[in-house]
């Protein structure tokens, strides 16, 4: 009787811990809305045309040597500081789009009809990251054909407690941080498109609280002698 009570108390404690785990209501778009939310970059732009954080740019303003330099760096948040023009969104835009933004800023206050050019001198490594409930999270090199499924393969697949309908991609689109949620089971089954993973993306795999509780029970089984006690219960 004491053993049975100890078993029930131990298992109940593990379930209680699982019940205490706080879940967050995920409001990211799913289904067709997810693919729209992280639409591939500016229309018509190839991956290697889009400015990324940590890129080094050459910005030249004709007749304005103090505004001209080959050492403008895009910061980690995707912004660039340009004299007189101030802080401007750069990541996720093409050099032409950034040029137009600089022209608009300078023409509004300081220079009539500014002649501006923007050139990417050095590009950051084209990488994406995978975090959350995967076997080997990390930063990986992106290729032209990298998709969510290949990203999962690079991270050695989701763990057995991953929430497979909560695979999220976060991406900077036109200077805005966007996110979307995908069900990898539907993608594996061919019922949903396999979204592309682009340079700078962050892939996050959610955690299933219910699966986590059962994992904790199995891990604690030798300590609680669960299988032996259950076997004794059946025999008695």
* pLDDT on residue 148: 95
* pLDDT on residue 54: 84
In this structure, what CATH number is given to the domain that contains residue 155? 3.10.560.10
Domain stop point among 105, 122, 139: 122
Task: Count structural domains, the chain.
Answer: 2
* Residues 140 and 189 reside in one and the same domain: yes
In a domain, residue 114? The reply is: yes
Residue 213: strand, helix, or coil:
helix
In a domain, residue 230? The reply is: no
Give CA–CA dist 18/55, Å, rounded: 44
Q: Could you tell me the pTM of the whole model?
A: 0.53
* Residues 96 and 113 reside in one and the same domain: yes
* pLDDT on residue 2: 46
C-alpha closest to that of 179 among 24, 29, 52, 47? 29
Task: Show the low-confidence residues of the chain (pLDDT under 70).
Answer: 1-25, 40-48, 125, 174-175, 210-236
Q: What residues have CB less than 8 Å from 8, skipping those under 6 apart?
A: none
* Residues 94 and 35 reside in one and the same domain: no
* Residues 59 and 101 reside in one and the same domain: yes
Give CA–CA dist 75/47, Å, rounded: 19
* pLDDT on residue 174: 65
Give CA–CA dist 38/128, Å, rounded: 15
* pLDDT on residue 82: 94
How do strand 138-141 and strand 127-132 relate by DSSP bridges?
antiparallel
In a domain, residue 161? The reply is: yes
* pLDDT on residue 230: 41
In this structure, what CATH number is given to the domain that contains residue 114? 3.30.1950.10
């Amino acid at each position: 009787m004491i053993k049975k009570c100890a078993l029930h108390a131990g298992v109940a404690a593990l379930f209680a811990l699982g019940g205490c785990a706080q879940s967050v209501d995920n409001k990211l778009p799913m289904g067709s809305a997810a693919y729209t939310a992280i639409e591939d970059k500016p229309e018509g732009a190839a991956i290697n045309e889009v400015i990324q954080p940590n890129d080094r740019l050459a910005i030249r303003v004709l007749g304005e040597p103090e505004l001209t330099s080959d050492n403008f760096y895009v910061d980690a948040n995707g912004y660039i500081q340009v004299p007189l023009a101030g802080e401007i969104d750069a990541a996720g835009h093409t050099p032409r789009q950034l040029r137009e933004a600089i022209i608009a800023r300078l023409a509004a206050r300081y220079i009539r009809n500014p002649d501006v050019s923007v050139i990417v001198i050095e590009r950051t490594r084209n990488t994406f990251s995978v975090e959350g409930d995967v076997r080997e999270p990390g930063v990986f090199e992106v290729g032209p054909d990298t998709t969510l499924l290949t990203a999962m393969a690079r991270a050695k697949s989701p763990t057995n407690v991953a929430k497979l309908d909560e695979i999220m991609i976060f991406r900077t689109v036109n200077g805005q941080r966007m996110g979307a949620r995908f069900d990898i089971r539907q993608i594996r089954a061919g019922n949903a498109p396999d979204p592309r993973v682009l340079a700078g993306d962050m892939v996050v795999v959610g955690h299933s609280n219910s699966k986590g509780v059962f994992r904790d029970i199995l891990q604690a089984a030798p300590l609680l002698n669960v299988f032996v006690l259950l076997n004794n219960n059946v025999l008695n």
